[in-house]
Amino acid sequence: MSGTVLVINSGSSSIKFQLVHPDTAELVAHGLIERIGEPDGHIVYNHSTGLVDRNLPIADHRDGLKLVLDIVAEVGRPLREAGVIAVGHRVVHGGNVFSAPTLIDDAVVAEIADLSALAPLHNPANVIGIEVAREELPDVPHVAVFDTAFFHTLPAAASTYAIDRDVATANQIRRYGFHGTSHEYVSGRAAAFLGKDPAELNQIVLHLGNGASASAIKGGKAIDTSMGLTPLEGLVMGTRSGDIDPGIILHLNRNSGMTVDQIDDLLNRRSGLKGLSGVNDFRALLELVDAGDQDAKLAYDVYVHRLRKYIGAYIVALGGVDVITFTGGVGENNIGVRRDSLAGLGRLGIEVDDALNTTKSRDERRISAASSATAVLVVPTNEELAIARAAQALVFG
């Protein structure tokens, strides 16, 4: 069935939305609401005839989504009349319950709400997005697409933390992984780019944005990923620490009396690039590095060192790698990170071509040398399109 899919990504303090044609990938309209609950709320809406850009306080997610629908109706047709064939909702945590896109009914909403203990900032916001959208668009199917679903296939050796099994089970502790929609989409595009069946390939995908994660994918199925029970584990990120010795948490609590909430704030919002250099945005970091700032240089080095460790681990976990793909704002744009994270790996059959790596492009492209046994690609991610396609496929087959 043709028509557009409304994709809603209702995050902890923002809501992103898109109207997209799943077949053609045509983006009909898209927008963003930011700083929900703060005095300087902001909405931007791009549509075929122009741009709406307003600053106004937005009390909560419910008000935010209603505002989106009002503005869509104000500048064009109300969404109910705009030929929307389905609504795709990004849901962060599917726990052990959801392993694939799922048609939403009241029971599914209740299960997503029940999983809030695992994602306290995200799942409640996802639930509100779903509730308001179902009220406003009651006649179209709504589909939940889970960030964790692609990693449902992780072997037990990769998903199990080596802690007391009873404690782990009682608290639903395992590696779930996140950014799954992106890792699945990008690995599929990488295989298509190479003209190969995903079943034939050992892949590493590096999703490097504000949040960052790596995955090892064998024959189209994820066998390991760097994020864990929460999106805090793994690579160095804009404001998140990624891997640390868990003993640091105990030490901070015992030695400096920091509370759990203070440590949560430290590791999620005041660590990573920001904690090391004062800035979380990679472009700002590079400007500081260029200006000779030593803290920024160390932050860059720590970021790249961690990335190289994961790449090495995943090459071994996979038993060799056919293709390494960079995606996300940093992975798609940052020449230095791509070069430095794979530098000196010629003996492993991995060679980035300097000229290809430095050529600017928004397209899917190969940046490895012709002599490189492993293909190195840059593939722009498109989670919204992947969600729209997943929703369409579930509803219309």
Does residue 333 touch ligand ADP according to CB under 6 A?
yes
- 137/204 with CB nearer ligand ADP: 204
The binder of ligand ADP chosen from 283, 287, 294, 373 (CB under 6 A): 283
The least distance separating ligand ADP from the CB of residue 285, rounded to whole angstroms, comes to: 8
- 327/372 with CB nearer ligand ADP: 327
The least distance separating ligand ADP from the CB of residue 361, rounded to whole angstroms, comes to: 12
Q: Find, among 123, 116, 4, 138, the residue nearest to 61 by Cα.
A: 123
Q: CB within 8 A of 303, min separation 6: which ones?
A: 235, 236, 273, 337
- 325/374 with CB nearer ligand ADP: 325
Q: Which one of the spans 80-88, 102-110, 157-165, 277-285 is the region binding ligand ADP (CB under 6 A)?
A: 277-285
Q: Which of the 8 DSSP states describes residue 368? A: B
Pairing of strands 221-225, 212-218: antiparallel
- 31/198 with CB nearer ligand ADP: 31
Q: Which one of the spans 60-68, 145-153, 275-283, 298-306 is the region binding ligand ADP (CB under 6 A)?
A: 275-283
Residues in contact with ligand ADP, counted by CB under 6 A, come to a total of 12
Alpha helix locations (H) across the chain? 61-75, 106-114, 123-136, 156-159, 165-170, 180-194, 247-256, 260-269, 272-277, 282-290, 294-318, 328-333, 335-341, 354-358, 383-396
The least distance separating ligand ADP from the CB of residue 334, rounded to whole angstroms, comes to: 4
Q: Which one of the spans 30-38, 50-58, 262-270, 324-332 is the region binding ligand ADP (CB under 6 A)?
A: 324-332
- 332/351 with CB nearer ligand ADP: 332
Please give the residues from 176 up to 215 whose contact with ligand ADP meets the rule CB under 6 A: 209-211
Q: Give, for 379, the enclosing helix (H) or strand (E).
A: none
Q: Count the helix, strand and coil residues of the chain and give each as a percent rounded to the nearest 5.
A: 45, 20, 35
CB-facing half-sphere around the CA of 384: CA atoms within 13 A: 22
Given its phi and psi angles, is residue 179 left (phi above 0), alpha (psi -120 to 50 degrees) or beta?
A: left
The residue number with the shortest CB distance to ligand ADP is 329
| C-alpha to C-alpha distance for 169 and 393, rounded to whole angstroms | 34
Collapsing DSSP states into helix, strand and coil, what is residue 147?
Answer: coil
Does residue 95 touch ligand ADP according to CB under 6 A?
no
- Is residue 87 within 8 Å of residue 141, measured between CB atoms? yes
Tell me which residue has tokens 């869509």.
Answer: 72
Does residue 129 touch ligand ADP according to CB under 6 A?
no
The binder of ligand ADP chosen from 41, 129, 234, 329 (CB under 6 A): 329
- 283/305 with CB nearer ligand ADP: 283
Pairing of strands 42-47, 50-55: antiparallel
Over the window 217 to 246, marking each residue x when it contacts ligand ADP by CB under 6 A and - when it does not, the resulting string is ---------------------x--------
- 94/211 with CB nearer ligand ADP: 211
Does residue 385 touch ligand ADP according to CB under 6 A?
no
Q: Which of the 8 DSSP states describes residue 199? A: G
Q: Find, among 88, 136, 128, 133, the residue nearest to 112 by Cα.
A: 128
Q: Which one of the spans 27-35, 148-156, 289-297, 323-331 is the region binding ligand ADP (CB under 6 A)?
A: 323-331
Within 10 angstroms of residue 218's Cβ, the number of other Cβ atoms is 19
Does residue 330 touch ligand ADP according to CB under 6 A?
yes
Indicate which residue of 147, 224, 322, 340 is catalytic: 147
Annotation says 363 is catalytic = no
Question: By the criterion CB under 6 A, which residues form the site for ligand ADP?
Answer: 209-211, 238, 281-283, 328-330, 333-334
Residues forming the active site: 147
